[in-house]
A and B are shown apart, each in its own frame.
Chain A
Amino acid sequence: MELTDAACVSKARAGDSDAFRVLVERHGRSLFRLAFRMTGNEQDAEDVVQESFLRAYRQLAKFDERASFGTWLYRIAANCSLDLMRARRRRSEHQAPAPEAGAPVEDPVLALPSGAPSPERLALSAEVRERVAEAMEDLSATERTAFVLRHFEGMCIEEVSRVLECQPGAAKHSVFRAVQKLRRALEPVVSAAQ
């Protein structure tokens, strides 16, 4: 009989590391997807996955069995990703010089000829992917987390607010701001494709 998450957690809390292994094997891939969408980088996502499981193991005693283990784990992963993104942003603020004002920005997507390919083909093109990745990168850590959890993971605003440890209103505004920024950045791409 396959053990439920709750049963595995109980056993793991009692020191049964095999039970925790089952949880890692069960949730590893979905956690990677979340981490990748949060960080936008494969290596960072790998680090987040490992760190999340280690944190989860250390904090098993705090887990409330009435809650879903998956959601709890996502919360840990989202926070690991937030920490990593904030640290990365702090580092880049110190290191990378800001682009000169008025300097031309290469924009391959905007430079597409009017007779561009169909939206489907365009959506798959490397340029569009790059542009989407850039737009995601421009979101603040909180906006990105809120957006990823709402848009890709399908969490409701209430759940997003629990992950972000803020009021639902604040979580909602983070989602709004993220969508507005993405829309402003990607609208030309979509329009050019039509």
Chain B
Amino acid sequence: MTHLSEEELILHYYGEQGNSLTAERHLEECEECRMLYGSLQRVLNVVDSLPVPERAADYGAAVWQRIASRLPARRWRWNLYGPWRWAAAAAAFASLLVVAFLAGRFYPPPQHQPAPLTAAVDPQAGERVLLVAVGDYLERSQMVLIELANANPKGTLDISSEQERAENLVSENRLYRQTAAHTGDGAVAGVLDELERALLDITHVPARISPEELERLRQRLESEGILFKVRVVGSNVRQQTEPAPTVRQRL
């Protein structure tokens, strides 16, 4: 008879063995393995007896008190001042980019080109600035989608603040989408187009939404896979805008 190895007994104890039934049958038949397994169980039961000091129910609040002042300021401050300010700034910035693009496209070129400068302005700088703005925009859109996707109401849910944010995002979306289309970035323009429809869907449901209506809305958003697409484009945009890391950080 082939006995169970110590490793097999350990796996069996933790329920991680592929063929648990075989081990169980063997233990029923083999006294030697049964004794070993019993000894293993007793040892691990004794380990369980190691006490852990209890912490009061408000322990988390006490931890918060200790760390709150040490938290670094977050980069995204728009929430502190209200989303509309950021939205207005982003919209103004996007408009400026569109105007600059169109002006560059239609303004007649000068007859005599000056000699090229060796230290010319980086032609990709404008594109990077736009990417940063689009990245932030996608991040904020993603937050609205995630909040609705994760809401778990027991009764009617008030989503008026999400709707307000979605409305602001819709007006920004058009500018970004048009700019992306003008610059020939069809993939980003396509996702922004789908995102706009999803945001409009959110603005068109009642502000106080029932769990059934919320579920229907969620299913519509899920069927279009918009959250996934926004994540992918957002991640691509971030990769293009972030400088290469110099220090490898764990976690």
Contact = CB atoms under 8 A, between A and B. Distances in A.
B247 interface: no
A176 B10 contact: yes
B65 to A, nearest CB: 10
Most chain A CB inside 10 Å of its own CB: which residue of B6, B39, B63: B63
In terms of DSSP, what is the predominant structure of the interface of chain B? helix
B181 to A, nearest CB: 28
Interface stretch (A1-9, A85-93, A100-108, A110-118): A1-9
Contacts of B63: 24, 28, 49-50, 53
Given A132-B49, A183-B40, A190-B39, A16 B16 contact: no
Interface string A1-38: 10010110011111111001100111111001100110
Nearest to B227: A65
A71 interface: no
B248 interface: no
Contact of A28 (B14, B46, B49, B59): B59
A162 B153 CA distance: 33
Given A24-B63, A27-B60, A129-B51, A7 B151 contact: yes
Contacts of B61: 24-25, 28
Contacts of B153: 1
A153 to B, nearest CB: 12
Interface range, B side: 35 or more
Interface string B149-171: 01111100100000000000000
**Which 4 residue pairs of A and B lie closest in terms of their CB atoms, listed nearest first?**
A28-B60, A25-B60, A123-B49, A15-B74
Interface of A: 1, 4, 6-7, 10-17, 20-21, 24-29, 32-33, 36-37, 42, 49-50, 53-55, 57-59, 62, 65, 75-76, 79, 119, 123-124, 128-129, 132-133, 135-136, 150-151, 156-157, 172, 175-176, 179-180, 182-183, 186-187, 189-190
